[in-house]
Amino acid sequence: MSTNDGTRLNKFLSEIGYCSRREADKLIEGRKVKINGQIAGIGAKVSAGDKVMVNGQLIDNTIENHVYIAFNKPIGIVCTTDTLNEKDNIVDYIQHERRIFPIGRLDKDSEGLIFLTSDGDIVNKILRAGNKHEKEYIVTVDRPVSKEFITKMSNGIPILGSTTKKCLVEQTKADEFRIVLTQGLNRQIRRMCEYLNYEVIKLKRVRIMNIKLDVGQGNWRNLNPAEMAQIQSMLIGSTNTSKKAIKHADIGKLAESKSNSKSANSSKTKGQQRSGGAKSNSGEYGKSNSNGTSRAKTQSSNKTNDRTKGRNRASTGTSKGRNRSGKR
């Protein structure tokens, strides 16, 4: 079993089509996976020649080339790999020989282009809104589209606690428009239209990045090498970093900013102290402000003490006089 080189075990089981990474993690946590006869732990890696067993069965560790397909999803098909609980799932509909899963989703009531793949690493790079990969839709609504509608849709609509990003929206027919998004919020286009009191009658995705919908409804095709090369070039610089990692990076920048701010404030304080010292030592005015006040306080304190002593002496003398007078 390899600990430094090779492929992480959960990724390996996913790539060979045995199960998803999440399911693989559960198997590993349940101590049901062995590498070369030893029970594998979370984070274990598989190298060429290693023997992997799951639930006592030897797994073929031959990793085939990944599958990338473009599918024209019909209305009524659900973009899920849950084949047990959803009878109209996309996996059973396509019946591909490899274990594949959709990149993103289209609503059950929507149709059009969707990618499916066996490559888990490419998914987040395509989907993450920050990477600005375009998805184009043709939408039919229940009444004529106005200029005000196009303007508001283009500039952003408040849904789901935030405002959608600015996007390209063009009218194509009296009751139809084209919209290009780089986001993928839940039922985004439908919610945007509902906010403006329009109802979506038909929603069809016709393009993802450089791939246009060019197969009949319910059909699919493999993406060719030239298309994949173009997609890979568009993914250069894209990230699949999680929000948590980004948040940590932001916290690091904030901490660095605070540290620099403290440093600057410290320098200012030192400068002020030096400047204050220079003023106090330059000229008689600075001296009289500090020393004069101190001397006045000292003189006042001495006078008070003298008065107190005088009273005490007077009181003592009177007392002695009374004592002497009493003795007489």
pLDDT at 63 over 90: no
- Verify that 195 and 91 share a domain, yes or no: no
Least confident of 64-68, 134-138, 149-153, 176-180: 64-68
- Verify that 170 and 228 share a domain, yes or no: no
**Where is pLDDT greater, at 143 or 250?**
143
pLDDT at 47 over 90: no
pLDDT at 285 over 60: no
- Verify that 198 and 224 share a domain, yes or no: no
In a domain, 35, yes or no: yes
pLDDT at 6 over 60: yes
Number of alpha carbons in the 13 Å side-chain half-sphere of residue 253: 6
CATH of residue 185's domain is 3.30.70.1560
Tally of structural domains, the chain: 3
In a domain, 36, yes or no: yes
- Verify that 70 and 167 share a domain, yes or no: no
Can you give the residue range of the structural domain that contains 101? 65-127+216-240
In a domain, 234, yes or no: yes
Q: Tell me the CA distances in angstroms from 208 to 105, 212, 232, 292, one per residue in order.
A: 12, 7, 13, 82
Asked if 12 and 121 touch (Cβ cutoff 8 Å), the reply is no
pLDDT at 326 over 70: no
Contacts of 219 by beta carbon, 8 Å cutoff, 6+ apart: 71, 72
Mean pLDDT, rounded, for 120-127: 81
**pLDDT classification of 48: cutoffs 50, 70, 90:** confident
Strands 68-73 and 220-222, bridge-based pairing:
antiparallel
- Verify that 111 and 220 share a domain, yes or no: yes
- Verify that 143 and 194 share a domain, yes or no: yes
Q: Tell me the CA distances in angstroms from 236 to 125, 212, 230, one per residue in order.
A: 9, 21, 10
In a domain, 31, yes or no: yes
Catalytic annotation present for 107: yes
How high is the pLDDT of residue 249?
33
172: its two tokens: 């194509």
- Verify that 162 and 204 share a domain, yes or no: yes
Mean pLDDT, rounded, for 179-200: 96
Contacts of 65 by beta carbon, 8 Å cutoff, 6+ apart: none
In a domain, 160, yes or no: yes
CATH of residue 95's domain is 3.30.70.580
Among the listed residues 5, 88, 107, 109, the single catalytic one is: 107
Closest CA to 199 of 149, 158, 135: 149
**pLDDT classification of 307: cutoffs 50, 70, 90:** low
- Verify that 69 and 190 share a domain, yes or no: no
- Verify that 96 and 201 share a domain, yes or no: no
In a domain, 248, yes or no: no
In a domain, 44, yes or no: yes
Global pTM value: 0.61
49: its two tokens: 């020649």
- Verify that 36 and 81 share a domain, yes or no: no
How high is the pLDDT of residue 13?
86
Strand runs (DSSP E) across 209-302, as ranges? 211-212, 220-222
Mean pLDDT, rounded, for 104-125: 90
pLDDT at 288 over 80: no
- Verify that 184 and 72 share a domain, yes or no: no
- Verify that 47 and 179 share a domain, yes or no: no
**pLDDT classification of 236: cutoffs 50, 70, 90:** confident
In a domain, 174, yes or no: yes
